[in-house]
Amino acid sequence: MNEAVELARELIRIDSVGGGEAAVAGPLARRLSDAGFAVREHEHAPEQTPGRTGLVARWGTGEPVTLTGHLDTVPLGGQAWRHAPHGAEIDGDRLYGRGSSDMKAGVAALVVAAERHVRRAGPKVALELVFTVGEETGCEGAAAMVAEGLVGRSRGLLVAEPTANRVLLGHKGALWLEATTRGTTAHGSMPHLGDNAIYKLARVIGAVETFDPGVPEHPWLGPSTVNVGTVRGGINVNSVPDLAAATVDLRTVAGQDHGRLRERLRAALGGEATLDVLVDLPAIWTDPDDPFVRALVEAGAGAPGDRPAASYFTDASILAAACGGAPTVICGPGEPEQAHVTDEYCLVHRIEEAVEIYVAALARFA
């Protein structure tokens, strides 16, 4: 068994569902320190949830290439697993476990590739490895790292999210809002004495349904979209509700201004609701002819093809700007359709393949 697969298995055996990333960061920090990296651990909101530790590791001088992945995983779900979710079982070419594809195999491949890179002969590009917490719930760990100045300018940003080792050039942004309407409560038998917040919210939802984001369709990312995801309001059947709220999921394309979009939606709602920002992550897009893209493709990664964008968002929404607008590529060994599913798996051969791609690409970029 090669070392990247063994490291992936070690990480999968650690339960980091929605927290506890310190147990994952610890062995990674030790390995990278032993390889000569300067390692700094980052505690995210320890007063709220202890044990949420990410890390930044740097090697070499000059502007680095930044390699990134997240250490948290999503909950297991209610359905029974046939393979133990933290057992890291291998069956044929499949490595099973929560986080196998999303994205502990990718993290393991980055670490082993970084170790090999610093040991190889010849010119070597400087490296920065950024391993975050809280990506699955809105990239909070990455945002905190950037706010504290832990991430700097870079020559390129590689995100090892699951792509089956194919190069993806970006993803849509996400602007999640909560629309809240307020009224006056009264007895349900005398509704004329109250002001029904749910009726107001119904009008708001109707306006959201017909809202035009106001930008043309991106040639690769597709259209900017809007969706109402949740609705809540009222406390009992025989009262006029004085509070109601809905969450709105806007997916944006490269170049779309989130502040302007929010103001356009506010105007479309006609003042009936307040809008609070829940998540604000811009879209990511890199030119397919960028040298960083070419280095990965020439190193053996699958070319972007006719579907060159991820369907999910990543920490790149936060990190790319901190890296000075560096070209950003998503490329990792996990299977994209395995993210978040029961009996999640990663193909074993893709893990070592990813290491070889990363090492060859870094050598070319040097």
Classify residue 93 by its DSSP letter: T
**Torsion sign across C-alpha atoms 313, 316, 319, 324:** negative
Please say if 136 is a catalytic residue.
yes
Contact predicate 270/287, CB 8 Å: no
**Which residue is catalytic, options 136, 335, 344, 353?**
136
The residues near 13 (Cβ < 8 Å, ≥ 6 apart) are 86, 87, 88, 97
- Residue 64, classified by CB atoms within 10 Å of its CB into exposed (0-12), middle (13-18) or buried (19+), is buried
Element (H, E) at 42: strand 38-43
Distance separating alpha carbons of residues 82 and 343, to the nearest angstrom: 7
Distance separating alpha carbons of residues 304 and 309, to the nearest angstrom: 8
- Residue 10, classified by CB atoms within 10 Å of its CB into exposed (0-12), middle (13-18) or buried (19+), is middle
Distance separating alpha carbons of residues 307 and 309, to the nearest angstrom: 6
Please state, as a whole number, how many other Cβ atoms lie within 10 Å of the Cβ of residue 37: 23
The two beta strands, 274-281 and 173-182, are antiparallel
The C-alpha R_g of the chain, in whole angstroms, comes to 23
C-alpha distances (whole Å) from 28 to each of 41, 51, 57, 97, 180 are: 10, 15, 10, 19, 43
Classify residue 100 by its DSSP letter: I
Classify residue 352 by its DSSP letter: H
Contact predicate 250/175, CB 8 Å: yes
**Positions marked catalytic:** 72, 136
